[in-house]
Chains A and B, each alone.
Chain A
Amino acid sequence: MSADGFQTLIHAKIRLALHPLEDRPGPRLLLLHGLGQRSPKQTPNEIRDWPGSVFALDFTGHGASTIPRGGGYTAELLMGDADAALEKIGPATLLGRGLGGYVAAMLAGARAQLVRGAIVCDGPGLAGGGTEPGKSTGPIVADSTDRAPDPFALLELATDLRPPDYASTFARQALAGSTATPPVTVCALERPEWLTAWLGSPAATPGTLADALRRYAQMQ
């Protein structure tokens, strides 16, 4: 545990900051922040009734996690970040805002046995960079910095492409392997096409955050 109260996880060459916000027996909840944001220092009000432990993860290039040199971000890399947190804390419900919601949904498919329900909420980076590239794809250039959030993360993850059929592959994986019903709950009002693809599958349903938390807590 660091002096700032977070645990350090190793994901490949990245040191990730995992913040334990509540330490209680019972179901685990992992918070995944939006693009350019960082973990909250305290448990947000809307999840204070969660009956078990609450953790929050700083993604690569965000918060207290490593800022790598030279960029190279993908949403899949961030899915690996969240998976490293699951390896540490065990099976958990995921609550993602914006970009964290996209990552939570992907991981609900890719680690269907470990994700005990994923909740997708509005926040920065929910839409990504659309469903296909523009007519001309040129290189994105940012300046390196030692301060979070990494400008490369902001640029590369804001233009991250999310075709609906790609999102659907994760929805099918979640449906095939998850013990949560439904595997994903969508609280977000914004509905980018990747999220509409999820909602077109039985793997996701719209719902309120309070209901989703209650349902997934009982399932664990």
Chain B
Amino acid sequence: MTDPHDHDADAEHVVYPGARRADRRRSVDSYGIEIAVYEWGDRDAPVLLLAHGGFDFARTYDVFAPMLADAGWRVVSWDQRGHGDSQHAALYSWGADGRDALAVLDSTTDTPVAVVGHSKGAGVTMDLVHGLPERFTRFVNIDGLPSARPQPDVSDHERTRMAARTTAAWLDHRRAIASKSRRPGSFDELAKRRGRMNPRLSIEWLRYLVSAGARHDPDGWRWKLDPSMRFGGFGPWRPDWSLRRMPKFPRPMLALLGMMPEEMGSGLTPDDVRPHLPPGTQLEVFSDTGHFIHIEKPREVADLVLRFLRDSNP
């Protein structure tokens, strides 16, 4: 039985070792969509953008970002449309996420910046660096390299049936979402649900995420994430396209791979990615870490990023 009132009194005070809220919070209007922006560190320090992954939000950087800020960077992150405290949009697309990211960058500085992206956030910002290299100096990719997943070894007939199920499920979802809201639960239920996606993260961290990424409604706690979003899907994009142009990536890159298998992970191995990396890319492999490398090992990742930012030539 859900008790909608458990922990509501102390949600604002949930703490996690090393976690620090942003020093500043502002909003950016991206073509009519209000984007929530968070900043850690000195306003006059060089800018470092942090892009979060799909179904995450900027405050998942509450431990990692302060480490970078304390080393002399103005760290700027944002909730992607439909995520965290940013406005829910009617439409979502990769291109729209790129435009929103650019709106945040435009609102921050016209000087070229370094950027760190995790998972989908890495993919979106990689495209921005490709398209607008003059706006960026260096790039860190945390477990978000493109991959050409092998097709399942099934017959054409079965493959067609799988594709049909995927498209039909997506259309069914579209038919139903007008009246949908996220399922409410107690504070700890939300943390446990999130734990099914992030099985390697501690319950203390998951509870901290609930305190930042969920809201308390009269019938319980709900993630702020737009309920119209769902995992999976389909579309025309071919992973080969991203792989093919990666060797020409125009800025120095540090790429991190987490090797422990996870639902949200890419499943990529170093051998999968090495042939496609641009010359000079620094590849760091975390054999005992999952998809959320910067959350499992924030100090280690922050040190790698800071060394890369110090030593690489834009």
Partners in one complex: yes
Residues of A near any B CB (own CB < 8 A): 10-14, 60, 66, 68-74, 76-77, 79-80, 83-84, 87, 109-112, 132-133, 135-144, 152, 156, 160-163, 165-166, 169-170, 172-173, 176-177
Q: How far is the CB of B266 from chain A (nearest CB, A)?
A: 21
Identify A109's interface contact among B96, B130, B167, B238, CB under 8 A: B167
Identify B91's interface contact among A68, A165, A170, A173, CB under 8 A: A68
* Nearest CB in chain B to that of A80: its residue: B174
CB-contacts of B88-106 with A (<8 A) = 88-93, 95-96, 98-100, 102
A13 to B226, CA, bound (A): 11
B54 interfacial contact with A, CB 8 Å: no
* Nearest CB in chain A to that of B33: its residue: A70
Identify A156's interface contact among B95, B164, B177, B235, CB under 8 A: B95
Q: How far is the CB of A156 from chain B (nearest CB, A)?
A: 6
Identify B90's interface contact among A14, A141, A177, CB under 8 A: A14
Q: Contacts A80-B174, A139-B131 known; A173 to B160 CB distance under 8 Å?
A: yes
Whether B89 and A163, one on each chain, are in contact in the complex, defined by CB atoms closer than 8 angstroms, is no
Q: How far is the CB of A91 from chain B (nearest CB, A)?
A: 14
* Nearest CB in chain A to that of B174: its residue: A80
CB-contacts of B54-107 with A (<8 A) = 81, 88-93, 95-96, 98-100, 102
* Nearest CB in chain B to that of A142: its residue: B31
Q: How far is the CB of B16 from chain A (nearest CB, A)?
A: 33
Identify A70's interface contact among B30, B102, B168, CB under 8 A: B30
Q: How far is the CB of A82 from chain B (nearest CB, A)?
A: 10
Whether A173 and B96, one on each chain, are in contact in the complex, defined by CB atoms closer than 8 angstroms, is no
Q: How far is the CB of A33 from chain B (nearest CB, A)?
A: 19
Residues of B near any A CB (own CB < 8 A): 30-33, 81, 88-93, 95-96, 98-100, 102, 127-128, 130-132, 156-157, 160-161, 163-164, 167-168, 170-171, 174-175, 177-178, 228, 234-238, 241, 245
Whether A110 and B164, one on each chain, are in contact in the complex, defined by CB atoms closer than 8 angstroms, is yes
* Chain A residues closer than 8 Å to B131, beta-carbon distance: 136-139
Q: Contacts A13-B178, A68-B90, A139-B131 known; A110 to B171 CB distance under 8 Å?
A: yes
A163 to B310, CA, bound (A): 42
* Nearest CB in chain A to that of B124: its residue: A139
* Chain B residues closer than 8 Å to A162, beta-carbon distance: 236
A138 to B127, CA, bound (A): 7
The 7 closest A-B pairs by CB, nearest first: A138-B131, A72-B91, A69-B32, A68-B90, A72-B96, A70-B33, A110-B167
* Chain A residues closer than 8 Å to B81, beta-carbon distance: 70, 72
Whether A72 and B171, one on each chain, are in contact in the complex, defined by CB atoms closer than 8 angstroms, is no
Extra pairs beyond A68-B90, A132-B241 (14, CB < 8 Å): A13-B90, A66-B90, A71-B99, A72-B90, A74-B235, A76-B170, A84-B174, A110-B168, A137-B131, A138-B131, A139-B131, A144-B31, A163-B236, A173-B164
Whether B31 and A70, one on each chain, are in contact in the complex, defined by CB atoms closer than 8 angstroms, is yes
Q: Contacts A10-B178, A136-B131, A144-B32 known; A72 to B163 CB distance under 8 Å?
A: no
A176 to B100, CA, bound (A): 40
* Chain B residues closer than 8 Å to A73, beta-carbon distance: 91, 93
A14 to B130, CA, bound (A): 33
Whether B30 and A172, one on each chain, are in contact in the complex, defined by CB atoms closer than 8 angstroms, is no
A70 to B241, CA, bound (A): 26
A216 to B33, CA, bound (A): 43
* Chain B residues closer than 8 Å to A143, beta-carbon distance: 31
* Chain A residues closer than 8 Å to B167, beta-carbon distance: 109-110, 170, 173
* Nearest CB in chain A to that of B92: its residue: A72
Q: Contacts A13-B90, A69-B33, A72-B89 known; A141 to B99 CB distance under 8 Å?
A: yes
Q: How far is the CB of B190 from chain A (nearest CB, A)?
A: 24
Q: Contacts A11-B174, A13-B228, A71-B99 known; A161 to B236 CB distance under 8 Å?
A: yes
Whether A71 and B164, one on each chain, are in contact in the complex, defined by CB atoms closer than 8 angstroms, is no
* Chain A residues closer than 8 Å to B98, beta-carbon distance: 139
Whether A139 and B241, one on each chain, are in contact in the complex, defined by CB atoms closer than 8 angstroms, is no
* Chain A residues closer than 8 Å to B177, beta-carbon distance: 12
Whether A137 and B127, one on each chain, are in contact in the complex, defined by CB atoms closer than 8 angstroms, is yes
* Nearest CB in chain A to that of B32: its residue: A69
* Chain B residues closer than 8 Å to A165, beta-carbon distance: 238
Identify B128's interface contact among A10, A72, A139, A163, CB under 8 A: A139
* Chain B residues closer than 8 Å to A160, beta-carbon distance: 236
Q: How far is the CB of B4 from chain A (nearest CB, A)?
A: 26
Whether B89 and A70, one on each chain, are in contact in the complex, defined by CB atoms closer than 8 angstroms, is yes
* Chain A residues closer than 8 Å to B156, beta-carbon distance: 172
* Chain A residues closer than 8 Å to B241, beta-carbon distance: 132-133
Whether A83 and B174, one on each chain, are in contact in the complex, defined by CB atoms closer than 8 angstroms, is yes
A38 to B299, CA, bound (A): 56
Whether B163 and A12, one on each chain, are in contact in the complex, defined by CB atoms closer than 8 angstroms, is no
Q: Contacts A73-B91, A140-B99 known; A80 to B130 CB distance under 8 Å?
A: no
Q: Contacts A83-B171, A137-B131 known; A166 to B236 CB distance under 8 Å?
A: yes
* Nearest CB in chain A to that of B98: its residue: A139
